Amino acid sequence: MLRKIMVTGAGSRIGRPLTTLLRRLEGVEVVALGQEDLDILDEAAVRKALEREKPSTVINCAGFNDVVAAEHAASEKLPVNTRGICNLARAAAELKFYLCFFSSKQVFNGKKAEPYDEEDEMWPVNQYGVAKQGGEEMVANLVEKNYLIVRSDYLFGFPGDWIGELKERLGRGEEVEVADDFLIAPTYVGDLAAAMVMLVSEWAAGVYHYTNEAGSGVSCCDFSRAVAERIGLDTGLIKGRPQAEIDYGYPINLPPRAILSLERFKKLFPSLVRPWQTALEEYLEIVSQ
């Protein structure tokens, strides 16, 4: 029997590669809806679309993910991450489809020395993290077991990402200040999309972490230097600074070293976890062609 998968927010950075991969699966019909087709904040429209399409699976890629902008305009920007998720969760509870969506490491405070497990207590330190926690809890409360939440970290591999900005700024000889005490697991968006597809194929339920492998984390500064080195730009222009001294245009609390444990994911798909350096090199190779 054909499995119908609806993707909401299909025009997003994650939504595009995800939709491409889903369309390659046999026995799957994909209904990809961008914001212009379906506004997940419009509860009546959400119900109508779901009653019309009757998907067995919905993967939500709609969201707001600018952590800094969310901090100073939370009430304006974040409802898509809370009320939007709530609309989908209510419909999932009633219409009994499998609801999948992306969350973030920003649900943690980043004070744990080891990587965070899926069951660790959420303790966000910014408005974005609070909204993500709210979205996760709503789904867990409203949808009985038939849901999947995939938390991830700092994404690269799409137009307008940090790599593109770095290339441009270093290319014109500009000095770039980057936090050297803020640890990340840089993650290629194509790998995250593939991880979601595999989890969805197995009807995996509950919370999973997925990032590229980064051990105990790499600083934003070292990641930026690694990018510069690989594309032959001057790494000397990259200046490491403490996170607290970086001007983001607005004061923001960020979890200093929230690295996600990949053990649960690895038990299912060990071969889908690869070092961020390998993923970065593959992406740089693709964009250089």
Ligand X SMILES: NC(=O)c1ccc[n+]([C@@H]2O[C@H](COP(=O)([O-])OP(=O)(O)OC[C@H]3O[C@@H](n4cnc5c(N)ncnc54)[C@H](OP(=O)(O)O)[C@@H]3O)[C@@H](O)[C@H]2O)c1
4: its two tokens: 């119908």
DSSP-derived secondary structure for 182-229: -EE--EEHHHHHHHHHHHHHTT--EEEE---B-TT-EEHHHHHHHHHH
Residue 223 as a binder of ligand X (CB under 6 A): the answer is: no
Residue 186 as a binder of ligand X (CB under 6 A): the answer is: no
CB 193 within 8 A of CB 14: yes
Q: Which window, 56-64, 108-116, 237-245, 255-263, contacts ligand X (CB under 6 A)?
A: 56-64
Residue 77 as a binder of ligand X (CB under 6 A): the answer is: no
- Residue given tokens 């840089």 in the structure block: 186
Residue 20 as a binder of ligand X (CB under 6 A): the answer is: no
Residue 62 as a binder of ligand X (CB under 6 A): the answer is: yes
Residue 13 as a binder of ligand X (CB under 6 A): the answer is: yes
22-44 exposure pattern, b = at least 16 Cβ within 10 A, e = fewer? beeeeebebbbbbeeebbbbebe
154: its two tokens: 């700092």
- Find the shortest distance in angstroms from Cβ 212 to ligand X: 12
- Find the shortest distance in angstroms from Cβ 234 to ligand X: 26
Of 126 and 237, CB closest to ligand X: 126
Q: Which window, 91-99, 140-148, 151-159, 227-235, contacts ligand X (CB under 6 A)?
A: 151-159
Residue 12 as a binder of ligand X (CB under 6 A): the answer is: yes
Residue 154 as a binder of ligand X (CB under 6 A): the answer is: yes
* Residue of this chain nearest to ligand X (CB atom): 63
Q: Which helix (H) or strand (E) holds 170?
A: helix 162-171
In degrees rounded to 5, what are phi and psi of residue 74? -60, -45
Q: Which window, 24-32, 60-68, 165-173, 243-251, contacts ligand X (CB under 6 A)?
A: 60-68
Give the residue, chosen from 17, 63, 186, 256, that forms a contact with ligand X under the rule CB under 6 A.
63
**CB burial class (10 A; 0-12, 13-18, 19+) of residue 120?**
middle
131: its two tokens: 């909204």
CB 152 within 8 A of CB 187: yes
In degrees rounded to 5, what are phi and psi of residue 194? -65, -40
User: CB 95: neighbour CB atoms within 10 A?
Assistant: 15
The set of residues, in sequence order, having a beta carbon less than 8 Å from that of 79 and lying 6+ positions away, is 41
Of 9 and 110, CB closest to ligand X: 9
Residues 90-149 that bind ligand X (CB under 6 A): 102, 104
Residue 65 as a binder of ligand X (CB under 6 A): the answer is: yes
- Find the shortest distance in angstroms from Cβ 185 to ligand X: 11
Residue 240 as a binder of ligand X (CB under 6 A): the answer is: no
Of 123 and 162, CB closest to ligand X: 162
Give the residue, chosen from 84, 134, 157, 217, that forms a contact with ligand X under the rule CB under 6 A.
84
Residue 9 as a binder of ligand X (CB under 6 A): the answer is: yes
239: its two tokens: 């200046």
Nearest to 61 by CA among 150, 191, 163, 188: 150
Cα–Cα distance, 109 to 133 (Å, whole number): 12
Residue 212 as a binder of ligand X (CB under 6 A): the answer is: no
Residues 21-50 that bind ligand X (CB under 6 A): 34-35, 39-41
What does the binding site for ligand X look like in residue numbers (CB under 6 A)? Answer: 8-9, 11-14, 34-35, 39-41, 61-63, 65, 80, 84, 102, 104, 152, 154-155
